[in-house]
Amino acid sequence: MKGKRRLNLNLAGNPLRNRKLFRSLFFFIGGLSVLWLIIGLTVFWKNRNDIQDMEMALTGIENKINHIRREERGYITQVDKLSQENLSRVKFINHLISQKAFSWTEMFTALEESLPDGCYIVSISPVEMGDFKTQVKLEVASTGLDPLFQFIDNLYAMDFSCVRLIRERKGETGSFISEISLDYDKTQ
């Protein structure tokens, strides 16, 4: 027993005599803390770099979206401009087609059929034309009010609408001369 050291179990008198255990425990906890610190910092930097990459990607996407919106507005402006140009052309062509398609002979035939005895047309003037529709002003001479009212009733029975009596005057021969405005709508 000479080579062995004696075990002193009295820790009350000298409690820090076995410092080796405390030092190893301190270094183990310190090393573990440093390891956790290194792992935490590594995860933090990795996440920070990922967040920066995502922010850069989002900024790039927002720039692309803004660029696409500017292009879209440009295209919409071009489409509106072309629509307006084409709209005026379409209206002009439709107007030409409606002028060619409007049958003046049918309108004059309908006017002639609606004239009763005692009425005759003094003048006709078309005011405006639309699709298969025109507005006409007439001067009608009649021998009295009864033939004039009969003429207006006959106009409503035909394809005429919006018949308006504008004014009346007494003619030189004693007949009534009435100015009438009406619409003729002959849709086929």
Give yes or no for residue 162 having a pLDDT over 50. Answer: yes
Mean pLDDT on 18-26 = 80
Contact status, residue 188 vs residue 132, Cβ threshold 8 Å: yes
What pLDDT, in 10s, does the model give residues 43-70?
999 999 999 999 999 999 999 999 999 9
For residue 122, the model assigns a pLDDT of 86
What per-residue string of b and e applies to 64-101 under the rule 16 or more CB within 10 Å gives b?
eeeeeeeeeeeeeeeeeeeeeeeeeeeeeeeeeeeeee
CA 151 vs. chain centroid, Å, equals 49
For residue 155, the model assigns a pLDDT of 85
Give yes or no for residue 188 having a pLDDT over 50. Answer: no
Most confident of 32-46, 102-116, 128-142: 32-46
- Domains of the chain: which residue ranges? 16-101, 102-185
What pLDDT, in 10s, does the model give residues 115-127?
888 888 888 887 7
Tell me how far apart the alpha carbons of residues 11 and 40 are, in angstroms, rounded to a whole number.
39
Question: In sequence order, what are the residues at sequence separation of 6 or more whose Cβ sits closer than 8 angstroms to the Cβ of residue 187?
Answer: 132
Architecture of the CATH domain 102-185? 2-Layer Sandwich (3.30)
